[in-house]
Structure 1
């Protein structure tokens, strides 16, 4: 049974220990996500050949540069690197070349993850998929192999993971240092990695995340609950949550 909603607002709180001890109110979570997707900030722009410039409103966050980009066809390639750069910034030329060279090996591991999941979303997988006791061949073990491959090839792990998440937004968690560190203290003995923490939090707040996912989709943004978890954690740990929530409430009011 989904959490109740009233007037488009998610009323069930989301309990995310990785984001802090207090539950996140559902309506605040929705406003923060909408702020991430629709928020704008002023930018003063002046072309090099112009004497004066002008103010423009540009996206405040990465939704349009990353989440809204079309998913490329075929195997992982240059388009996936561009998508990852839209979220994490441009790679140096040598780093770009290294990532491009590593993508075929990453593709093999990604295919193994998809095969292992057998059509199930991340939050639909059993807990054993993120336990070292069930290894090898689990989703958790395969995702750890992706991280090991990035370290071995000296490739930016956050860019590789972003590319994989863009391809599989309901299966591959979007992790980077900013969100990994808050997850680490919640890892339990036997966990295959921080992915196990994300899995537990999605299960424990399943109804609230389902309601939030539906509410966000009703506003026109197709973000999976796996991405919503990452957004709420990132906004909270970087102290951007209040700004995004205020922006989301304002843009929603303007839309109305």
Structure 2
């Protein structure tokens, strides 16, 4: 797929081979625009009919209006849009974890001083710079709540500040963990390193996606990195690329 010209993306967390920028753009547009068939029954069509529904979570997560004020119920709903519905016990656990996340989230935001994650210096993601670094605060956030709750917390925080808080779920965690180096403050250091090393490519990709999807559908380069790593790790990259190419016709 054409439409993005620039250097290949070299993302060890996504795989050993460089990712051509056109392929990355097709994958992201496939994530945002791709549809899949679903057999659907309703009172108006009791015998059922085929409908086309979004193949991924762009509409119900990325395009959802950003919540304001203290972390709360709206943030849980947003995280459900990405990770699925919670039972009452799960809802209560995520809601409680968000209360605990407020302090570290505020600390990371204050320390960043309005800068996006990819513009922060390397020292912010090194244990040698701790305590008080953005990396230390993000590590504390990633450890908020038990087990599966952490993925919902990560999704809620990323949606609030998609330029600062990485979205780390089970798949991306497995992809990032082997690339943590000695001295890194955590998984976030891997994301930061790959964004910095591919600054030119992600700038082009970010602009191309914004031009294609408009302001309401645009994704920060932090989210773009997550989509590409998640699609690669979940074996959905080829499908997303195919959907993106089809949607562009």
Fold conserved between structures, TM > 0.5: yes
Are residues 1:38 and 2:33 paired?
yes
Q: Aligned residue for 2:184?
A: 191
- Select the residue among 211, 224, 246 that pairs with 2:204: 211
Are residues 1:231 and 2:222 paired?
no
What SS class does the counterpart of residue 52 from structure 2 fall into?
strand
Q: Distance in 1 between matches of 2:60 and 2:74?
A: 13
Do 2:130 and 2:136's aligned partners in 1 also have CA atoms closer than 8 Å? yes
What SS class does the counterpart of residue 57 from structure 1 fall into?
strand
In the TM superposition, residue 8 of structure 1 has moved relative to its aligned partner by 2.6
What SS class does the counterpart of residue 219 from structure 1 fall into?
helix
Do 1:98 and 1:155's aligned partners in 2 also have CA atoms closer than 8 Å? no
In the TM superposition, residue 65 of structure 1 has moved relative to its aligned partner by 0.8
Question: Scaled by the length of structure 1, what TM-score is found?
Answer: 0.92
Q: Aligned residue for 1:9?
A: 4
What SS class does the counterpart of residue 192 from structure 1 fall into?
coil
In the TM superposition, residue 7 of structure 1 has moved relative to its aligned partner by 6.2
Q: Distance in 1 between matches of 2:43 and 2:212?
A: 39
Are residues 1:63 and 2:58 paired?
yes
Q: Aligned pair in 2 of structure 1 residues 51, 216: CA closer, same or farther (>3 Å)?
A: closer
Q: Aligned residue for 2:49?
A: 54
Do 1:32 and 1:248's aligned partners in 2 also have CA atoms closer than 8 Å? yes
Question: Scaled by the length of structure 2, what TM-score is found?
Answer: 0.95
Q: Aligned residue for 1:3?
A: none
Unaligned runs of 5+ in 2: none
Q: Aligned pair in 2 of structure 1 residues 246, 49: CA closer, same or farther (>3 Å)?
A: closer
Superimposed CA distance per residue, residues 85-105 of structure 1 (whole angstroms, 9 cap, x where no aligned partner): 000011121121122123222
Q: Aligned residue for 2:81?
A: 86
